[in-house]
Amino acid sequence: ARETTLLSLLKNAFSIVLGVIVFMLVLSEIGVNIGPLLASVGVLSLAFSFGAQKLVQDVVTGVFIQFENVSTGGPR
Q: Give per-residue pLDDT as tens, 2-37.
A: 778 888 888 998 999 999 899 999 999 999 898 998
What is the reported pLDDT for 2?
A: 74
- Residues 49, 42, 65: CA angle, nearest 5 degrees: 40
pLDDT digits (tens, 9 = 90+) for 28-69: 999 989 899 889 888 988 888 787 888 888 888 888 888 887
Q: Is 0.75 surpassed by the pTM of this model?
A: no
What is the reported pLDDT for 7?
A: 87
Kindly report the backbone phi and psi dihedral angles of residue 74, in degrees, each rounded to the nearest multiple of 5, phi listed first: -65, 175
What is the reported pLDDT for 12?
A: 92
